[in-house]
Amino acid sequence: MLRVLMILVPLALSVFAFIDCITTDEKDVRWMPKPLWAILVLLFPLAGSISWLLVGRDRTRGAAGPGRRGGGGWVAPDDNPEFLRSLDDETGGKGGRKKDDDGPEE
């Protein structure tokens, strides 16, 4: 079992690093051009993968923290101003339910 893990873990790491390398934007790649990183990951699977993950990609660029809005990406409905505006439009701006709902009348 340990022999299998010693083969599968580096293989999975290499596959992950290679896919991450080829799908990363050129502007997010550091130190070397992207094709050289891909070749490095393929020729030296363990060392290349680890070096790509540690220094090859600029992981701080475009990463939105909890208090910051990233450019694009998914936004929860309760944080989406357009969605909240559409709810206000549906309810007539009252913030409550519409009168034609099937719920109990108040």
- Could you read off the pLDDT of 42-92 as tens digits, one per residue? 898 888 888 888 888 777 755 444 444 445 667 777 777 888 888 877 776
Q: What does the alpha-carbon distance between residue 15 and residue 34 come to, in Å, rounded to a whole number?
A: 16
pLDDT at residue 99 tops 70: no
Type of residue numbered 76: A
pLDDT, position 103: 54
- Number of Cβ within a 10 Å radius of residue 2: 5
- pLDDT higher than 50, residue 13: yes
6 pLDDT exceeds 60?
yes
- Distance from chain centroid for Cα 40: 24
| pTM exceeds 0.85 for this model | no
